[in-house]
Structure 1
Amino acid sequence: MLLLLALASGTLSAFAEEDHVTEKAVLVDPDASFTIEQAVTGTFVPEPSILTGGYTKAAHWLRLDIRAADEGGELILRIRPTFLDEVTLFWQDPERPGEWSREQTGDRTPFHERGVAAVPLAFRIQPAPAGSTYYLRLETTSSSVLDVHAYEPVVAERLDRHFTVVMIFYLAIMLWVLLSAAGELVNGRDIALHWFLVSQPVYILYTLAITGMLTPFLPEALSYYVDEFTSVMVCLVALTSLLFHRALVLPFAPHFVARGMLNALILLDVIAVGFVLVGIPQPGLQLNAIVMMLVAPTLIFLAFSARRDALPGRTWLRIVYTGLTLALVFTNGHYLGLMKATQWSLESSLLMGLCSALAMFLLLYLRASARRRQIQEAKLQLSLAQQRLELQNDQMEMKRQFLAMLTHEIKTPLSVARLALVSMKGEGEPRRLIETAIDNMNDIVDRCSYADRLEHGQLRLHREPFDMEALLHEVAARSSEPERLELHPGAVAAVETDRALLEVLLDNLVDNALKYSPPQSPVAIRIEPGEDNGDRSVGIAVENWPAAALPDPDRLFDKYYRGPGAHRKSGSGLGLYIVQGIARLLGGAMAHEVVEGKVRFSLRLPC
């Protein structure tokens, strides 16, 4: 950047003292109708600086008093900017008194027809030893900005070389930014990055067009369309930049008014492009310049109304957009005639493009870097999660193996104890207590085994039709207190589901009701036919009076949960957990409610 600015500074000011233009004056031709004879009799106003006329249909006449070279000979009248449509030079030939000679240049004049084969617009002149007066007529659809100097050929050639070096460095940096941005595509799909890859080549072409660098390389047939191409690129560079900014700021959720302003500017620039394409370029170019001036406050509004933090952060966005806003005002003010053009402002489009490209690439680079860090962190978290999952799976496998071993090792002595108890003589309370203890231990082992198989998806369904009422009688008969059960069978046809799993479910429900209700209190089992969305279903409800404080309904079906007072009873906290799991496996649903002081567990199953 420092090297580029130093080269630009040398181009702009190093040879200013060698200018042979001694005086400038300007005359405005409102309807562009003056002849040279009319113009020379008009009233010229001194113009010590660069002509800045803005967008206008008027022609501007510039009167130049030029001193001769120190050793005589020709001079080069060097004109900037290069995108001016028609610049005509008038002078009086000493050999033809009273007659005016003329020569024309501009981007409407093909390169091979120009008097001076150079990138900048130029004329060869040879002032008289005492000095001569020349007239320049400017008529252009672009902004009427005109800077003119007269240099000796060697100085003009050195200036051209300086300009070429500046442009080589400039284009090298712009291409480096473009290729670097293209390289960031590997790191993810960023819509703002895609628009940057569209706008950056457009800006490079725009730069080549407005500086005249493109003209020498065009075929003769295409050199007649440089003016139209330049006008289109001026509007397209603004449009693609706006679309890029829109993609960039949307993740920050700016205020809807700011978004609306940006969308309106995009629409206006589309209209500007349309004007240029249909052959009325001046309104389009003027509208485009107005849009670029309005972009300045819009960008500030977008940055400072951002309501969401996005990569690379609102602070960076505001810093970059503030600098970009100041640059936009500085760049476009003289095109609209709002401020006088200076030597630096003539190069403002280049500097603006460079600063904008670097600033936008900085934002994209910071965003891509932050995204890479997020991806790396996500990969690390995923790796840790996979490690935790593997560890958890290993622990579950160890638990399953331990449970299988424990179940086997406990079942064997329980069977031996039961056989020994059968062979014992005598009845009474001690024997009943032993039998109850063995049954409780056996139930706990069975439930642990069922819970483990349920968790690992090892329970397989085997659907078959069967009589529900008959199944309920079997469950009641083998319960610990069948005399307390009250069966209320309903008119239910044959049910088709997994009989063995349903039997386990009902065993646990009945055991839970008998265990956690007052001694000798009745436990009701009801069967109720029903419909779910037009399909037949069956409902089974088990009701009992509670013996202690009611359990927490939100944790009732949790694994190992036991309600208040339940710890006085033998149990594992797995019964209702198994009930819930089997109900879901069968395609049904469990519900728990308290109705008129009774605890009711309801199962709804499809038939």
Structure 2
Amino acid sequence: MKHLLAIAVLIFGCLSAIPAIAGDLIVSRMAVKDLTGTLTIDDITKSEATAFKSALIIHIGESVHWVRLRVRAPDENGKVVLFIRPTYINNITLYQADPTAPNGWKTRTTGNIHPFSERDRPKISLGFLIDVASPEETVYLRIEGERHAVLNVEALTPAEADQKDYDRDLLIVFFVTSMATLFLWSIHAYILDRQKVFALFAFHQLVYTLFGIATVGYLAPFNSAEHPWLVDFITGVMYLSIGPTVLFFCHELIKPYDPPRYIIWGLRAILSIFALDYVLLATEYHPIAYSINSINLKFLLLYLVVTSFLLRKEHSPRRSTIQFMLLFIFINNTAFWIPAYLFPNNQILKWSSIQVLFVDGFLIALLFAVVSFVRAREVRREAHEATQAVMAINRTLLEEKELKNQAETAARTDYLTGLFNRRHFFELAQRELDRSIRYQRLFTLLMIDIDHFKSINDTWGHAFGDTVLRTVANIINDTLRNVDLFGRTGGEEFAAVIVETEESESIDIAQRLREGVEMCSAFAPDGTEVRVTISIGITHLRGREIEFDLVMDEADQAMYSAKKTGRNRIMVNA
């Protein structure tokens, strides 16, 4: 944004530069209104005319104006350019006395409905290149137009006219560059933030830039004899589109401030009038469309100022900023355009209509860009805060989930060995027993007990006893398969379910468990090597439909039988 402000200062300085004053060769200017459009050149030469200085206002609905110019011959070669502004005048006919012509007048035409190739000077500006007989000569211009215009005609030398065209081209370059910069910035901002206000701002920039290019004549090279009104029509469409784009942008801008409902209804009513202008333009009621659009646009700016003071909520940017922006735009528009029509000859600022058009459009665009940037920055800040809040919530949820998982794990895990505890093991074993019975699968239950464990505790203490428990649990757990179930069911007792395994193979597994424990020694705190053994009781399902408690009793009985018969052995339930 700071780069945009720097560009604004540069552009404003260039546009504010006072244009070089050329040596106007016009001695006097006189005007005659031809309200019916039927007067001839002979009628005009005999009519009374009204003198004017440098500018003449042409109002909508006044079909034809005649201008009589008394032009002084230049010091050299007698060539003079009649430099005519604005460039959107539809038709201008030059009448210059010529005794050799059939009616005594030589005529030429120009205007924005005439092909560019037919102009006297291949320039964007309108005008005629004439020879002026010394010392002075009188020429006449017949002017037809459909829009308001502040007519300005100067008689310049060709070099001076070329300089004015150069200055004009320079202004166009600055205007298009600055407006295109804001347009591209708004597109970039929309891609990043996806905020509708940026899209509407970009649309306004596009419309106003095209209007600026068209209204100063830079679409003239595209005009043709086959479609003489095409460029004028495009210019008219762009002109009628400025108001709706401003309305759409400001409507989107003020929505978060909760404007009263009747304000929104008013904006819709204004929009419907803009829509009517398009209908009038399409049905070729051009003067009426332009007149209504001009009034409606001025009213819209005033309406938006009033609206800014009726907003009911605070938002970013602050309401005072919105009020200042809209009030500044209204005052700026009034200060530039009203004096141009009330006092056309009082050029205090010495700004051309092109400079007024460009500065007015650029200031509006810059203010729109600033408030859009502030809005986007606030939205990004809110989005960042919302993201941080969501992340905090997610962290809390993850922590709660972790605590829950830990609690669930603790509820089903033996704290000492990390194996399934008695309750959870029984749940899993019951589920596996039910599945085996339903699908006629093999099922084997092992009950395992550490031999002489009480003696170990009494001799070397409970801490060493815990070490023995963990050692035995790890050996058995490493020996069993992943599909098998294993848990601690009591003090020194363990249980295992051997899944879908033949009886002989399950006995071999039990044997490997017993041998694995027997081969491992534990060292007491005093360094004594302690040999640990286990006794295992085995029971098989063998296709029976039996409760798990009974299976447990069978395996228990087998285990106690193993202990009674000498320990460190396995015993299978008969």
CA distance in 1, matches of 2:15, 2:80: 23
Task: Give the Cα separation in 1 of the matches to 2:220 and 2:101.
Answer: 34
CA deviations over 1:450-481 (Å, ceiling 9, x no partner): xxxxxxxxxxxxxxxxxxxxxxxxxxxxxxxx
**1:388 corresponds to 2:396:** yes
Contact map agreement 2:260 2:310 (CA 8 A) in 1: yes
Given that 2:84 and 2:153 are in contact with CA atoms closer than 8 Å, whether structure 1 keeps it comes out as yes
Alpha-carbon distance in structure 1 between the residues aligned to 2:272 and 2:344: 29
Given candidates 341, 344, 351, the residue that maps to 1:340 is 344
Does structure 2 retain, via aligned residues, the 8 Å contact 1:72–1:129?
Answer: no
User: Is the 1:85–1:142 Cα contact (8 Å) retained in structure 2?
Assistant: no
Q: Does the CA-based 8 Å contact 1:292-1:332 persist in structure 2?
A: no
Superposition deviation, residue 265 in structure 1: 1.5
**For this pair of structures, how many residues does the alignment match?**
407
Match in the other structure for 1:372: 380
How many Å apart are 1:312 and its aligned residue?
Answer: 2.6
Q: What does the per-residue CA deviation read over 1:292-320, in whole Å, with 9 as the maximum and x for residues that have no partner?
A: 11122111012111112233332221121
How far, CA to CA, are the matches of 2:71 and 2:150 in structure 1?
A: 20
Tell me the distance in 1 between the aligned counterparts of 2:49 and 2:80.
24
Q: What CA RMSD, in Å, does the superposition of the two structures yield over aligned residues?
A: 2.8
Letter of the aligned partner of 2:295 in structure 1? I
Of residues 134-143 and 305-314 in structure 1, the stretch that sits farther from structure 2 once superposed is 305-314
Q: TM-score, normalised by structure 2?
A: 0.65
What is the rounded CA distance, in whole Å, between the counterparts of 1:96 and 1:222 in structure 2?
30
Question: Alpha-carbon deviation of 1:206?
Answer: 1.2
CA distance in 2, matches of 1:252, 1:187: 24
Helix, strand or coil at the partner of 1:27: strand
| Unmatched tracts of structure 2, length 5 or more | 1-7, 417-574
Task: State the 1:20 CA deviation.
Answer: 1.4
Quickly say closer, same or farther: Cα 1:251–1:7, change in 2 above 3 A: same
Task: Give yes or no for contact 2:277–2:290 (8 Å, CA) kept in 1.
Answer: yes
Distance of 2:263 and 2:338 partners within structure 1: 22
Choose from 288, 295, 302 the match for 1:297.
302
Q: Within 5 A, what are the aligned runs for 1:155-304?
A: 155-217=160-222, 221-222=226-227, 224-304=229-309
- Alignment partner, residue 475 of structure 2: none
Give 1:482-501 correspondences, 5 Å limit.
none
SS at match of 1:104: strand
Contact 2:256 2:313 in 1 (8 A): yes
Partner of 1:325: 330
Question: SS of 2:170's equivalent?
Answer: helix
State the partner residue of 2:145.
Answer: 140
Q: Calculate percent identity across the aligned residue pairs.
A: 24
Does the aligned pair in 2 maintain the 1:232–1:277 contact within 8 Å? no
| Unaligned stretches of 5+ residues in structure 1 | 409-607
Q: Which residue of 1 aligns with 2:11?
A: 4
Structure 1 residues 323 and 247 mapped into 2: Cα distance closer, same or farther (>3 Å)? same
Q: How many angstroms apart in 1 are the aligned matches of 2:344 and 2:301?
A: 19
> How far apart, in 1, do the equivalents of 2:10 and 2:59 lie?
32
So what's the TM-score if we normalise by structure 1? 0.62
Which has the higher Rg, Structure 1 or Structure 2? Answer: 2
What's the counterpart of residue 358 of structure 1?
366
Q: Contact conserved, 1:53 with 1:144, CA < 8 A, in 2?
A: yes
Q: Where in structure 2 are the equivalents of 1:437-476 lying within 5 Å?
A: none
CA distance in 1, matches of 2:71, 2:12: 30
Q: Report how far residue 171 of structure 1 moved.
A: 0.6
1:314 aligns with 2:319: yes
Inter-CA distance 277–86: structure 2 relative to 1 (3 Å threshold): same
Amino acid at match of 1:172: T
Give 1:15's aligned residue. Answer: 21
Could you tell me how far apart the structure 2 residues matched to 1:218 and 1:46 are?
34
Give the residue type in structure 2 aligned to 1:8. Answer: L
State the SS of the aligned residue for 1:148: strand
SS in 2 for 1:308: coil
**Cα drift, residue 380 of structure 1:** 1.8
Give, in whole Å, the separation in 2 of the partners of 1:222 and 1:196.
32
CA distance in 1, matches of 2:336, 2:288: 19
Q: Give 1:243 shift.
A: 2.2
Are the structure 2 counterparts of residues 132 and 219 from structure 1 closer, same or farther at C-alpha, using a change threshold of 3 Å?
closer
1:334 to 1:284, Cα distance in 2 relative to 1, 3 A? farther
Q: Please show how residues 511-590 of structure 1 align to structure 2 within 5 Å.
A: none
Structure with greater contact order relative to length (CA < 8 Å, sep ≥ 6): 2
**Aligned-pair distance for 1:397?**
5.0
Aligned to 1:567: none
Paired AA for residue 168 in structure 1: V
Name the CA distance, whole Å, in 2 between partners of 1:308 and 1:356. 24
Partner of 2:480: none
Whole-angstrom distance in 2 between the partners of 1:338 and 1:257 = 34
Which whole-Å CA distance do the structure 1 matches of 2:101 and 2:405 have between them? 110
Amino acid at match of 1:175: A
Given candidates 9, 22, 26, the residue that maps to 2:31 is 26
Shift in Å, 1:104: 1.4
Check whether the contact 1:83–1:106 (CA below 8 A) recurs between aligned residues: yes
Alignment correspondent of 2:60: 55
Preserved contact between residue 259 and residue 302 of structure 1 (Cα < 8 Å):
no
Distance 1:138 1:245 in 2: 38
Q: Structure 1 residue 290: deviation in Å?
A: 0.7
**SS of match in other structure, 1:13:** coil
Alignment of 1:72-111 (within 5 A): 72-93=77-98, 99-111=104-116
Q: Secondary structure, in 3 states, of the residue corresponding to 2:244?
A: helix
